[in-house]
Chain A
């Protein structure tokens, strides 16, 4: 059953990444250089919708709180995030969109995925040294959410705040930002997107 769900959900995710333009490095580069923000708007809307459905679903008892998987906070999250940001800007791919781009026939993505396998291997080989720096030690309480989520096994950064309501409120904020930010900062239409 799990594998059937993996196939259905994975295929849907891959197809949507393709349809939304996230596997196109030109779209990504125009977004990160703040030239065309449609993809940014789509991502913010997606996070907002996921937040509201997840936490409203939890409050209604439809979504199992036990399905949550909160990752730990540590200094390496920020440093690793910055590294990912650098490689993301250079290549126009993140791990998920890179493999989808490869599957959709982009030859440069083959080099990205090969580089990615090498980068992951470098991390494997340097893991003990990285760990020894203390960069992987928990900060801010480790695996925490913003507010306290009822029934969750995770602590909260702000235990007095209701985590589920915070989630819904944050979802509304993400959706509002998605609608408010312009598709282009220069106000114009820019150059036409080349026909594919």
Chain B
């Protein structure tokens, strides 16, 4: 990390609080569904249609987000786009853009330098994470950080499930420190 855990934690805490103070708690994973819907609707415009009370979808899950898919430039979607800009500027400013190359050192130490193996692991991880996040109704930001910061019971249930699996799996996978 580029800053100490104390400064990093302080900044992270203040950002979560500022979002709560000024607008609403931070969340990210819903926007994957919104982007899916935007892409799907571009391919097949029948997926989001105009109902009596605004946009609707025959896909029952997309119907929940039909309004946001029809007009994605709203707070939550722009927030995620801005996150990307912030991360890119920060990485460039500290000279860390691109990381250590396509294969992270910890992965390379345990699974070798093959980039395609890493890309496959990364892809598979993404599939599982986002299925799980949508099933849970939120991710590390929305459930764990924002949820626990509000004393939401669901946030604690989510965090328990996530660490219960993540820690033993990571211990098995990453025996070499890299």
Chain A residues within CB distance 8 Å of chain B? 2-3, 5-21, 23-27, 29-30, 32-35, 38-39, 41-51, 53-54, 57, 62-64, 67-74, 76-109, 111-125, 127-128, 130-131, 135, 140-141, 143-147, 149, 157, 163, 166-167, 170, 178, 183, 190-191, 194, 196
Contacts and interface: CB of A to CB of B under 8 A. Distances in A.
Contacts of A33: 167, 170-171, 173-174
Contacts of A121: 36, 40
Contacts of A88: 125, 129, 140, 162, 166
9 contacts: A18-B94, A18-B96, A43-B12, A46-B145, A86-B132, A99-B28, A117-B32, A119-B134, A167-B150
| Those 10 A-B pairs whose CB atoms lie nearest each other, nearest first | A91-B125, A115-B126, A81-B161, A83-B132, A80-B136, A10-B82, A45-B9, A49-B13, A14-B86, A21-B1
Chain B contact patch, size range: 35 or more
Interface of B: 1-3, 5-6, 8-26, 28-29, 32-33, 35-36, 39-40, 59-62, 73-76, 78-91, 94-107, 115, 118-143, 145-155, 157-167, 169-171, 173-174, 177-178
> Which of B10, B40, B133, B150 neighbours the largest number of chain A CB atoms within 10 Å of its CB?
B150
Per DSSP, are chain B's interface residues mostly helix, strand or loop, or mixed? helix
Contact of B136 (A25, A30, A32, A81): A81
